[in-house]
Structure 1
Amino acid sequence: MVRKVVPEQHESKRQEILAAAHRCFLRNGLQGASISMICKEAGMSPGHLYHYFPSKEAIVEQMADDYLVQLHGHFGRHTKDEPTATVLLSELWSMSGWDDLAHCRILFELLAEAGRNEKIHAILQANTDGIRQLLADTLKAGQARGEVDPGLDPRHASAVLVAVLDAAPMLPLMTSDVDFDESRKLITMMIDRFLRPQPL
């Protein structure tokens, strides 16, 4: 008799595996974290884990997809008349301190591994393309309202914004005397000035 799959239980187990993998990646690095480590962290056998994810790369890809969905959610909570810089930095403004950025540090592992692993590189590139499209659409909407410099190429500017936003979690790693709230205000000011239409 074939066991019936309960969607809610299946998704719950997938999320447990993703959480366990995330902890392993942060602790051991993306390259250093093996499937056996992830299985031990999740409390299951490799055969059981492979029922949900066929490879470590598949786990990473799901993490990247989940992050993009989460980012769309942050952007979607804003009204159309809110400043473009506020919308672009909505994820940062949803946080309460540097500890909330700890999950972003997995990006550093992805960047390092992307230089060695073509599959990870492809996953990271596809995810970044999705983020850039979301940012570019927001920039175009800001240009239509007259609050973003019409001379900015939204697609190119989105790449610069990705670089700035991805670097934010590095601040507390590089120095211990940076205040979260003050840093967030400065980043917002920098983005706002970058986007502002230039006087004729």
Structure 2
Amino acid sequence: MARVSQAHLDARRRQILEGAARCFARDGFHATSMQDVLRETGLSAGAVYRYFPSKETMIADLAREVLDAVHGALDQASRLPDPPPPDEILVDALTRVGGMLEHPASLVIQVWAETLRNPELDALLRGFLTEVLAAWTRVVEVYQARGEVDPDVPAEHVARTLIACCQGFLVQRALGYGDVAWLREGLRGLMSGARRYAPPTTG
């Protein structure tokens, strides 16, 4: 028997996740059954269960992919010596997520709700928020050093506000009227309207 390539395995896993994402986005996690996923993907039960033993594992993997995409964009920006402004960072992160799944925004909202009853998702989301907060805090500290953000405001507080901005945008997108273009322009307007602050002195 010919050995199945890793590329084939990855493609099949992607096919299942995208089918599950469509089902979850359309009907919600709890109203979607494994039979629904089988019909959506056109695959046999054996083919699906080989990759995902339960609906919960699909939910966790979908959440992990979205969160990893967002964190990757933020972490990459936070490690640059001269990070771009927040509108570019956020739009990059949201564009990465939007390119992954057909209905990312509604899935994100459902994941947030599911954390109230699913300990695995709750731990996953809390760990993600901790990492993202650290990444944004590093970026804000650079903004403060460049005189773009008030150095008297704790960098972590500004970072939490930027995270809230992203979360709020995803809620609006899930409701059908979120557009990264106005998010970019709005953040750019806020940053351009801020007065320049003297960089903090050292030593």
* TM-score between both structures, scaled by the size of structure 2: 0.72
1:43 equivalent to 2:37? Answer no
1:122 equivalent to 2:123? Answer yes
The AA in structure 1 aligned to 2:65 is D
Distance in 2 (alpha carbons) for counterparts of 1:86 and 1:172: 17
Distance in 2 (alpha carbons) for counterparts of 1:6 and 1:187: 45
Deviation at 1:49, TM superposition (A): 1.5
Aligned to 2:158: 157
Residues 6-61 of structure 1: CA deviation (Å, up to 9, x unaligned): 11111111111111111111101122222222222122223321211233332233
1:9 equivalent to 2:33? Answer no
* Percentage identity across paired residues of the two chains: 27
Say if 1:115 and 1:121, in contact at 8 Å, map to a contact too: yes
The AA in structure 1 aligned to 2:51 is Y
Q: 1:139 to 1:147 in 2, by over 3 A?
A: same
| RMSD value, Cα | 3.8
Aligned to 1:27: 26
Deviation at 1:180, TM superposition (A): 6.3
Q: 1:24 to 1:128 in 2, by over 3 A?
A: farther
Structure 1: 5+ residue stretches without partners: none
Partner of 2:51, secondary structure, is coil
Q: How does 1:1-200 map to 2 (within 5 A)?
A: 4-72=3-71, 74-75=73-74, 76=76, 80-81=81-82, 83-91=84-92, 94=95, 102-171=103-172, 181-190=181-190, 197=197
Equivalent pairs, count: 195
Residues 121-177 of structure 1: CA deviation (Å, up to 9, x unaligned): 22222333333233223223333434333334334433332222111133366686x
